[in-house]
Amino acid sequence: MYIVFSTFDVPDEKANEVINIYKQRSRRVDRAPGFIDFLLLQNEKRPGELTVQLTFQNKETYLDWVRSEEFKQIHDLEKKYPDKELAAIVPKVRQYTVVAT
């Protein structure tokens, strides 16, 4: 398995707004070959710190998703979000290969 974490900070007062956006997400990634799971995580001590966790079968299926037209469309929409502060956020991305379970 291959797991990708995208962590970003939003102002605490906007955390619920962002959470609601993710609750209403398009779910396009769910149909990507090799996709296993999506989670949105919120830091208990810093509510504005959110992490998207994606799990894929392997690195190759994840990279196929990242190179897909649907991925590009979703991320282009994020850049056009009306709240310019939220649209400008760049997440810290970390990628891991599962080596034991």
- pLDDT tens profile 77-87: 776 777 878 87
> Does residue 64 contact residue 33 with C-beta atoms inside 8 Å?
yes
Parallel, antiparallel or unpaired: strands 35-42 and 2-9: unpaired
Q: What is the number of structural domains in the chain?
A: 1
Alpha-carbon distance 101 to 93, whole Å? 22
The pair of three-digit structure tokens given for residue 59, joined into one six-digit string: 């690195």
CATH code of the domain covering residue 82: 3.30.70.100
Domain that holds residue 68: 2-97
CA distance 87 to 78: 6
Q: What is the pLDDT of residue 84?
A: 79
Profile the chain (101 residues) by mean pLDDT over runs of 10 residues.
97 94 93 98 98 98 96 79 80 97 93
